[in-house]
Amino acid sequence: MIYEKLTSAIFNDIQSGLRGFTSNISMSLEQLEDDIIDERLQILKEYSLKGTLPKQDLLLSINCINVDCKSMENCPCTNGEDITPHFEIPQLLNDFGTENSIEYIGSLNKQNPFLVYTTYNSLLYQKYRKRGKDKPYVFIDITPNNNNMFDCFVFNAPMLKQVSVVGIFKDPRQLENYDCCLDEVENMTFVNNEIKRRLTEKKIRFYRQLTPQLQPNNQIPT
């Protein structure tokens, strides 16, 4: 994915920026990936507060998620008879509202969008709708499950086998669980460039401040 290339690029820039200061950087690529995701969330929050977040540049598509069945009770002590069509998605970005992070959930051809609910109160209002009451709808449980994903439960679509989802996800690395369904898009948006610039500067500043500069060996051999 694009974040693997971004991690490698930042690591190389940090090494170049620290040439002459230290030859041993105690930083793994896995740690750097975590820092990239944290920096991405901080940048998106800043732009969201300013009202300048370009939503279309952040959307990712998962095209064929399999639907299984699961009880909404999520309790292992029950008999599990009350099961509902269900699928999992990566955690959604919630800085500007979880529902606003979803562009589409519905049929594979993207011609039949489902109604989306993310709170139990809004789910209760569905039965009072006068229009579209029988249309398929999805409830997204925005508390992470034991797989650290979001559970989604589908109603009014009993024969559903697969769905497509387009949204803005909190940690793009979670999309690696959907390799067969994911569009591999190599899109270096301004967010990626901003991550690269900020994180490289932070790491170089950190190591230069805390790491003593390498000194030449001027000792005369005896």
Tens-digit pLDDT string for the chain (222 aa): 677 888 899 988 888 887 766 666 677 888 899 999 999 999 998 988 888 877 888 888 898 899 999 988 876 665 556 789 999 999 998 765 667 889 999 999 889 999 999 988 888 877 777 776 788 999 999 999 999 999 999 999 888 999 999 999 999 888 888 876 555 555 567 888 899 999 999 988 887 776 555 555 555 555
Both structure tokens of 68: 């299984």
Domain count, the chain: 2
- 198 and 152 co-located in one domain: no
Q: Give whole-number Cα distances, 166 to 17, 63, 65, 207, in Å.
A: 38, 8, 11, 39
Q: Give backbone dihedrals phi and psi of 208, rounded to 5 degrees, phi first.
A: -70, -35
- 33 and 129 co-located in one domain: no
- 116 and 146 co-located in one domain: yes
- 75 and 174 co-located in one domain: yes
| Cβ atoms 138, 116 nearer than 8 A | yes
Domain presence at residue 144 = yes
What residue numbers bound the domain in which 117 lies? Answer: 55-185
pTM: 0.80
* C-alpha span between 63 and 76 (Å, rounded): 31
* C-alpha span between 104 and 198 (Å, rounded): 32
- 44 and 125 co-located in one domain: no
- 123 and 173 co-located in one domain: yes
